[in-house]
Structure 1
Amino acid sequence: MTSTSAFDTTLAGLGITRSATGPSVAAASTANTTLGQADFLKLMTAQMQNQDPFSPVDNTQMVAQMAQFSSLAGISDMSTTLKAISTKLGATSTADALAYVGKTVLTAGDTAYGRTTGGLAGAVELGDAASEVNLTISDASGQIVHAEKLGAHTAGTVGYDWSGKDASGADAGTGPFTVSITAADNGKAVTATNLVWAPVESVSTASGSAVLTLPGLGTVPVTAVRQVG
């Protein structure tokens, strides 16, 4: 009958069982198969305490294994640190977020307000080339105050600028206006995202990422901003 050695006790503490017929080990079905630095040192100590005195552990191999483990641990720590630095650099700081207040941003939406100098500007993002792109602007009552054919364009961003006058030449006011876009390529619908300019009323960083409050559009993440004016 084979007595339980310190090595077996150490393995058992790690959730590993050793076969009674040989030195091979098998991980238990519910055991944690990941060994850390402390586990490695326990195993090495148990191995040295229970080594065959007539065939001791090769010092060269032991030192090489320790060096490899130390290198691996260092790389793992470095990777964790670099990820933390990357996350910090990629995040928008509170100061950066507050800088948006008072500015206008270009973002996806269908509600727009006229400029203080008159008129309205915006843009369209086309997913594919289009043989025709049509713009329609309606006032708060749903009445169309401006309709324009923007023509054919390749995939990408297409800008537009309306004077703020309706078909009769009268001033249509400052809005809010509802902007709609349709695009097609030889009769086949093309994906078109309408982009409008909106002033930033406030900024919130409570969720960990900066969120802008825009009139008529609600809250918009900073990542959704295409351009700052």
Structure 2
Amino acid sequence: MSAYDSTLANLGIGRTGAAATPTVQTAAQSQSLGQADFLKLMTAQMENQDPFNPVDNTQMVAQMAQFSQLSGITEMSTTLKAISDKLGNTSTADALSYVGKTVLTEGSVAYGRTGGGIAGAVELDGDATNVNVTISDANGQVLKTLPLGKSAQGTVTYDWDGKTEAGEDAGTGPFKISVLAQNGGANVTSRSLVWAPVESVNMTGASPTLTLPGIGQIATTAVRKVG
């Protein structure tokens, strides 16, 4: 017996003759009733009720309330989908607005500023008693180590003037950035955050991505700050 027949049986409505011939339905259709089905059932219930024992008005009101609730949920779902589509369009517009700006995001490669040096940050998953940022050249030779000291969980920033340990100008890079955070000798999970200019936006995927020099493509959700 299908879900449709079961519903009719629960309402005291029998199916006989040609009307009882089953129709071909998919598995999903056989397990669900839409608004049109609800109206058909209610109409059939009223046509086939016993005139000496009519359907209780309270039951009919309850059924109509359920129908109204179903209709409201359907309309709300449609509205939420429209909002979701609108937000998707807004995300695309926002992504395009990043072009020409600099963003702070996770990365291990940074390019020097026009005036020399770089600025960046370290993202800590826990408190640290000692945080060090090591800056190397493209060949991996260490240029400068910045001790940031004790830091609480969260983000700690730094600014390097572009001078090596020997006081020489390190140039414009690219520079390799590595971080080490510890708490009493135990390593603390951390991430290097660097500033990078947005060169372009890729619109071909499911959601737009930003193209950054030395880092590649990142999602807009990976941006921590915009400069």
Query: Which of 185, 204, 207 is the equivalent residue of 1:206?
Result: 204
| Pairing 1:82-121 to 2, within 5 Å after superposition | 82-86=80-84, 88-89=86-87, 92-121=90-119
Q: Give the TM-score taking structure 2 as reference length.
A: 0.83
| Aligned counterparts of 1:104 and 1:14: Cα–Cα separation in 2 | 60
The equivalent residue for 1:4 is: none
What do you get for the CA RMSD once the two structures are aligned?
A: 2.6
> How many equivalent residue pairs?
213
The equivalent residue for 1:70 is: 68
The answer to whether the Cα contact below 8 Å between 2:122 and 2:156 also exists between their aligned partners in 1 is yes
| Aligned counterparts of 2:2 and 2:93: Cα–Cα separation in 1 | 54
Structure 2 residues without counterparts, runs of 5 or longer: 15-26
* Cα displacement string for residues 147-185 of structure 1 (whole angstroms, at most 9, x for unaligned residues): 121101110100011111112221111111110000100
1:50 CA displacement = 2.0
**Partner SS, residue 156 of structure 2:** strand
- Please list every run of at least 4 consecutive aligned residues from structure 1 whose deviation after the TM superposition is greater than 4 angstroms: 22-25
1:15 CA displacement = 5.8
1:86 CA displacement = 4.5
The answer to whether the Cα contact below 8 Å between 2:13 and 2:48 also exists between their aligned partners in 1 is no
The answer to whether the Cα contact below 8 Å between 1:92 and 1:209 also exists between their aligned partners in 2 is no
| Aligned counterparts of 2:111 and 2:137: Cα–Cα separation in 1 | 10
1:226 CA displacement = 0.3
1:99 CA displacement = 1.5
Query: Which of 190, 215, 218 is the equivalent residue of 1:217?
Result: 215
Letter in 2 for 1:126: L
The answer to whether the Cα contact below 8 Å between 2:13 and 2:45 also exists between their aligned partners in 1 is no
Structure 1 residues without counterparts, runs of 5 or longer: 1-10
Query: Which of 185, 188, 191 is the equivalent residue of 2:186?
Result: 188
Letter in 1 for 2:214: G
The equivalent residue for 1:138 is: 136
* Cα displacement string for residues 2-32 of structure 1 (whole angstroms, at most 9, x for unaligned residues): xxxxxxxxx858364877xx9599xxxx673
Larger fraction in helix: 2
Q: Give the TM-score taking structure 1 as reference length.
A: 0.83
The answer to whether the Cα contact below 8 Å between 2:196 and 2:212 also exists between their aligned partners in 1 is yes
Letter in 2 for 1:226: R
| Aligned counterparts of 2:92 and 2:47: Cα–Cα separation in 1 | 57
> Residues 13 and 187 (structure 1 numbering): CA distance in 2 closer, same or farther, change over 3 Å?
closer
Provide the identity percentage.
Answer: 63
| Aligned counterparts of 1:159 and 1:170: Cα–Cα separation in 2 | 23
* Cα displacement string for residues 120-169 of structure 1 (whole angstroms, at most 9, x for unaligned residues): 11000011000101111110111111112110111010001111111222
The answer to whether the Cα contact below 8 Å between 1:131 and 1:186 also exists between their aligned partners in 2 is yes
Query: Which of 140, 145, 149 is the equivalent residue of 2:147?
Result: 149
The equivalent residue for 1:170 is: 168
